[in-house]
Amino acid sequence: MVTMSSVALGDVRIVRSVDVQSYVGLKPSTARKSVSLLRRTETRPLMIVRASKEREISVKSSGLSIEECEAAAVAGNFPDSPSPRRPLAPRGTPNVKPLPLSRRPRRNRKSPTLRDAFQETNLSPSNLVLPLFIHEGEEDVPIGAMPGCYRLGWRHGLLEEVYKARDVGVNSIVLFPKIPDALKSQTGDEAFNDNGLVPRAIRLLKDKYPDIVIYTDVALDPYSSDGHDGIVREDGAIMNDETVHQLCKQAVSQASAGADVVSPSDMMDGRVSAIRAALDAEGFQEVSIMSYTAKYASSFYGPFREALDSNPRFGDKKTYQMNPANYREALVETEADEAEGADILLVKPAMPYLDVIRLLRDNSALPIAAYQVSGEYSMIKAGGTLKMVDEEKVMMESLLCIRRAGADIILTYSARQAASLLCGMKSE
């Protein structure tokens, strides 16, 4: 229910005197004064456009300028009270006595000003984190399953995309690398190569934009020849403690390059405390940890895995990512991550797990993050392309709902588009 008001003004010219007694809607005065001020040569009725009616309604106005109203007030002439006559209802509307209601919540929704004043949840560019895919090439490569997203060349395309994001107030990004197959291994050693793709990109970005906040992904799947988040034993089991050892080296490497927040997304047990100890031992006490606290084994990740070419070579990730059917289990992960020193707790995916976001919000004082994942993004894009939904409105509503559920920050591929709209600019 949106109401927009606009006033159509006529031409304006100077008049040398005004007879305040002659104005419609003003009480006549015994004293007549002449005042120099502005007066319209033509007045038009105030037009109110109501989205719920999708039509224009004319409202009578005195048509006086501010100066004329002031002059009339000085002369003691004030407008008459509004007419008590109510607008006509459509033919066939039943004639009923007003309901004896002591409370009518719609009173607080009757105008844009009131709705804005009482809005409980707000969204701004500072709440958004933009995930970016990078690769070793020079060209930006479109991602088929994610319209509008690219694997960015780390030297040029990445810098340009961050520049555009900063221009609309998005100053936080998270990096995801597409690693060449030749550099992948079963133990994912490329993850902690200090001259690898991610550390190089971090150093370049910090040199160009020292004030941006860079989040990184701490996990082995982009670097693993098996496509899993951890080291795979010969029987197919994911090795927990050995994987955590590798993740610690990866986090330290990223922190050394200038990362502000390292984000373990692997869901191994005990990795937050181990990474915190490793960072502190190397002098990186100021580097934050955003733990993927409740990361579910979701079907919404498909487009992301295409973007990074990181699908598991066999099996699935259900022995380390959470069961989508589980709710209370998120509290177990929350308590562990808090105790181990996490600075931010993240829920992934976002929209299908709003209840889990609220659960973490109600049970932790730490900042809560939510990841609007690739499948969520692509569904909204597809619906907009097929004209089944209004893409921009659905996008903005989805982000607002994630905030309402309790998320302080949202990782979303729509960050730049949403921020443009929030800034009053046309989105690309």
This prediction's pTM: 0.82
Give the pLDDT of residue 79: 82
Q: Is 83 exposed, middle or buried (0-12, 13-18, 19+ CB in 10 A)?
A: exposed
Residue 295 known to be catalytic? yes
- Cα(367)–Cα(288) distance, integer angstroms: 12
Query: Does the structure show a pLDDT above 80 at 6?
Result: no
Query: Does the structure show a pLDDT above 90 at 387?
Result: yes
What domains does the chain contain, in order, with CATH numbers?
1-82 (no CATH), 125-422 (3.20.20.70)
- Point out the least confidently predicted range of 21-30, 142-151, 333-342: 21-30
The residue from 178, 184, 295, 317 that is catalytic is 295
Note the pLDDT tens digit of each residue in 238-277.
Answer: 999 999 999 999 999 999 999 999 999 999 999 999 999 9
Helix %, strand %, coil % for the chain, to 5? 35, 20, 45
- Cα(13)–Cα(231) distance, integer angstroms: 80
Residue 317 known to be catalytic? no
Q: In Å, how far are 63, 78, 150, 372, 404 from 75, measured between CA atoms?
A: 18, 9, 67, 61, 52
Give the pLDDT of residue 60: 63
Amino acid 215 reads Y
Query: Does the structure show a pLDDT above 60 at 236?
Result: yes
- Cα(179)–Cα(175) distance, integer angstroms: 12
| Phi (first) and psi of residue 11, to 5 degrees | -65, 155
Give the pLDDT of residue 86: 83
Per-residue pLDDT, averaged over 382-398, amounts to 97
Q: Which residue has the higher pLDDT, 105 or 49?
A: 105
When pLDDT is cut at 50, 70 and 90, the band that residue 427 belongs to is low
Per-residue pLDDT, averaged over 288-301, amounts to 96
When pLDDT is cut at 50, 70 and 90, the band that residue 59 belongs to is low
For the chain, percent of residues with pLDDT exceeding 70: 85
Token pair in block for residue 370: 């939510």
Beta strands in 253-406 (DSSP E): 261-264, 288-295, 344-348, 368-372
Note the pLDDT tens digit of each residue in 139-189.
Answer: 999 998 999 999 999 999 999 999 999 999 999 999 999 999 999 999 999
- Cα(317)–Cα(160) distance, integer angstroms: 35
Query: Does the structure show a pLDDT above 60 at 323?
Result: yes
Q: Which residue has the tokens 């509307």?
A: 93
Counts of helices then strands in the chain (DSSP H, E): 12, 17
The residue from 348, 381, 393, 426 that is catalytic is 348
Query: Does the structure show a pLDDT above 50 at 69?
Result: yes
Query: Does the structure show a pLDDT above 50 at 210?
Result: yes
